[in-house]
Amino acid sequence: MAVKTRYIYKGGKVIAEFQDGALVHAEPEYFGEPESGPMLMPDLPGYLSPVTGLWVDGRRARREDLLRTGSRPYEGREQESKEIARNEEYRQQQDDRHIERSTWETYNHLPRSIQKRLMGD
C-alpha cells in the first residue's frame, strides 16, 4: 500500500512533512510548543473517610464529607501548628468574654451599697 505524503511549504522551503496523517518532520521555528487550551482537572480518586469510614468519591463528596465532619484538609505540620495556635487564641478570647460577662452579672446582682464600695465611691 502506498504511503500518502504531504508537504507544507513556507517561502519555498519545506517546513513540515506528514506521512499518512502523522507528522514526521517539522522545522522547530514554525512548529514549536502548541498553544495551551483549557486545562481540565481530573476528579479525585475515591477513598475511605478516616473520620466516618464512608466511601468518598470525587471533589464534591470530599467537600461534603469535610463539612459534615467539621474537618479540613491536612496542609502540613507548619500550617497545622498555626491553625492550632489560632484555635487556642480564639478559645482564650471566648473564655475571657465569658469571665467578663459573669463578673458583670455578679456585680449587677450585688446590693448598691456593696457596688459603691467596690467602685471606690
Per-residue pLDDT of 99-116, as tens digits, reads: 999 999 999 999 999 988
Whole-number Å distance between alpha carbons of 57 and 65: 10
Asked whether the whole model's pTM tops 0.75, one would answer: no
Q: What digits encode the pLDDT tens for the residues 54-73?
A: 999 999 999 999 999 998 88
Closest by CA position to 26, among listed 37, 17, 35: 17
First vs last Cα of the chain: how many Å apart? 112
Type of residue at 71: S
Report whether 66 contacts 55 (CB < 8 A). no
Distance of CA 62 to the CA centre of its chain: 12
Confidence band of 32 (pLDDT split at 50, 70, 90): low
